[in-house]
Amino acid sequence: MPYELQIDGLPGPTTIHGGLSSGNLASQANAGAPAHPRAAARQCLAKMRQVMALGIPQAFLPPLARPDLELLRSLGFGGTDALVVERCAQDEPQWLRIAASSAFMWTANCATVIPAADAADGSCHLVLANLAAMPHRAGEARSRLAMLTGMFAAVPGAVVHPALPGIPGLGDEGAANHHRAVGPLGACHLLVHGRSIATPAAELPKLYPARQYREASQAVARIGQATAVVHARQTPRAIDAGAFHNDVVMVGCGHQLLLHEHALDSQAGVLAQLGSRCGTLAVREIAEQELSLAQAVRSYLFNSQMLETAHGTVLLAPIESSDGPARSVIDRLLAEGFLARAEFVDLRESMMGGGGPACLRLRVTLSPRELAAVAPGYLLTDERLHKLEQWVDRHYRRQLSLAELRDPLLLEEGRRALEELTQLCGLGSLYRFQGGSA
């Protein structure tokens, strides 16, 4: 019986609302609003606790070291660390916002996973995403590669691959555009893109960028040696409505799939392909009349987590979908038996940046033997969760404005926090300021 390990990201002490993500309506609408780093981290930890209470294994990825001083130094800002931050704040504050971003918390963008059972060579493949479309995320892959390599170093056959080159035509946004469907005939990987290199300009979204390239999805499938793959294109209509990743209009687990009627081009054909590869799937398409694309983006219903538990499928949904049309959809799915239960979670700080429950986690399907070999420092228990909550309370500020990013104390506070975190979880010298590579 395989397990689906949930790996959630933890926001860092420099959590801000920088408005850095074009096409992410929440991110842009809340640009410049005061952020609450302590509340952001506490909310994410509470969500992890909620998942664990369902009997599902849970791990976490530590925050990245921010501000990213290597980035700022590469742009010509010199001097002591404090001077680098001050000079950037004075001359190019936008780059300081980019270097301080805590968007790494949304680990659905971290990688794409092809489990051992689905790979031609019988290995579990994790392919890092290059996140080339957005400057504030394009530098994450190196650090996440170090963390995931450490996490899976002892897992038999697991291979962690570096990201694709961050060049035009190979933009890869990770598992936010990936779904693993499982039916009686086996598993099939649905990889969703927004464009290809050859897509005519007239067929691209009109308002916002299509971040995922088909060529990148094809490369990821090859590297992961996936034996069954379906490629599909996200509709430009969905992208222009604010669905900057496919997981804003589609969610699923196992043999179940929930998606908006305007999620994919040629949607009926795509679902037929999945069915032919997997066998019978339980699919629910939500009509525009029942829940408009605008309402789907506003509520983030499709960015819920669907979790297979011993008592049926549980929908872990953002509290923003607990009323209105989104709640009506949930109630109908409960009445039909498609869902066994729905639980709601308060992720206000994450949602202000455009990230719901599904954005915060990377799913890795593992055998019991593989799960037992995952590095224990990253796995969560009730005791470790409690220690992490106390750690957050000691080190994270209650509130942080964009202007406060230039505070020289903030850099030192962050380093002290991460130093203690590595000791708390037994992660060794993980970060570059400790001599590590993350």
Q: Are 138 and 132 in contact (CB under 8 A)?
A: yes
d(CA 242, CA 207): 9
Among the listed residues 17, 178, 245, 395, the single catalytic one is 245
Instruction: Report residue 404: phi and psi, to 5°.
Output: -80, -5
Catalytic residue among 36, 359, 370, 395: 359
Task: Enter the tokens of residue 256.
Answer: 């179940």
Q: What is the C-alpha to C-alpha distance for residues 331 and 429, in angstroms, rounded to an integer?
A: 48
Parallel, antiparallel or unpaired: strands 229-233 and 186-193: parallel
3-state secondary structure of 247: helix
Q: Which residue has the tokens 């780059």?
A: 95
Q: Cα–Cα distance between 274 and 251 in angstroms, integer?
A: 15
Q: Are strands 58-61 and 186-193 parallel, antiparallel or unpaired?
A: unpaired
- In this structure, are residues 353 and 318 in contact, taking their beta carbons and an 8 Å threshold? no
Which whole-number Å values give the CA distances from 313 to 50, 103, 252, 303, 392, in the listed order? Answer: 14, 29, 10, 15, 31
Residue 218 CA to residue 215 CA, distance in Å, equals 5
Using the 8-state DSSP alphabet, how is residue 379 labeled? Answer: B
The residues with which 113 forms a beta bridge, in sequence order, are: 126
CA–CA separation, 34 and 25 (whole Å)? 17
CA-based nearest residue to 104, from 133, 70, 143, 159 = 143
Strand partners, 307: 314
Give the gyration radius of the chain's Cα atoms.
20
CB atoms within 10 A of CB 436: 17
Active site residue 173: yes
DSSP 423-434: HHHT--S-SGGG
189 and 178 Cβ atoms separated by less than 8 Å: yes
254: left (phi over 0), alpha (psi -120 to 50) or beta: left
Q: Given 44, 88, 140, 173, which residue is catalytic?
A: 173
> CA angle at residue 52 from 51 to 54, to 5 degrees?
70
245 flagged as catalytic: yes
What is the CA 345 to chain-centroid distance, rounded? Answer: 17
Q: Which residues are catalytically annotated?
A: 173, 245, 359
